[in-house]
Amino acid sequence: MKKFFTILCLTFIATAAFYSSSNAQNYKNAIGGRFGAANGVTFKTSVGADKMLDIIANFRSTHDYNYFRLTGLYEIYNPIADAPGLGWYYGFGGSLGSVKYKPTSSSDLYLSVDGVLGLDYKFKDAPINLSLDWKPALELAPDTGFDASGLGLSIRFTF
C-alpha cells in the first residue's frame, strides 16, 4: 500500500510541477520537510498568480497505530503590507492514506477533508521558504471526528 501512495505522490508532484506558473510568493516550486504532529515531505507549486498546490506525504507513529497519508491542499496567498517576503494563506483539500493498528496488525483506509491557515516567508537572498500553519481535518474514515492537532512548520528549498 505504501508503494502505491509513493508512486501516486511522485506522479502528482511531477504533473503539478509541469503545469506550474509564477506566484505572489516569489518562488515557483518548493520542496522540503514538514514537522509537527506528523512529519513528512512537502512540495508546493504555483497554479496561478496567488494560488499554490501543496502536496504533503507524512507519517505518524504512536503506541497504538502507524499511518501514512497523502494530502493535497489548494492554497490562496495574500501578501502582508510592509513585510517583504511574508504572506498569509488559507485553503482546503483532502487526505487519503492507510492506518495500521499495532496490537491487531489490522489496517484501514484513512480519508479526511482538510483546511489550512498559515504564514509563509521567502528569504530574499536565499532559496529558503518557511511556513507555519494549522491544518485541521474532518476525518471521514476509519472513524469520523475532528482533528485540530495539525500545527506544522515546513522548511523548503525553493526553485
The residue assigned the cell 522540503 is 32
2-158 has which CATH code?
A: 2.40.160.20
- Nearest-angstrom CA–CA distance, 113 and 64: 23
Helix (H) or strand (E) holding 7: helix 2-18
Q: Has this prediction a pTM greater than 0.75?
A: yes
Q: Over the stretch 114-149, which tens digit does the pLDDT of each residue have?
A: 999 999 999 999 999 999 999 999 999 998 999 998
Q: For residue 13, give the C-alpha cell.
A: 508532484
Beta strands in 3-106 (DSSP E): 29-36, 39-48, 51-61, 65-79, 86-101
Q: Over the stretch 83-120, which tens digit does the pLDDT of each residue have?
A: 999 999 999 999 999 999 998 889 999 999 999 999 99
Give the start-to-end residue ranges of the domains of the chain: 2-158
18 pLDDT higher than 90:
no
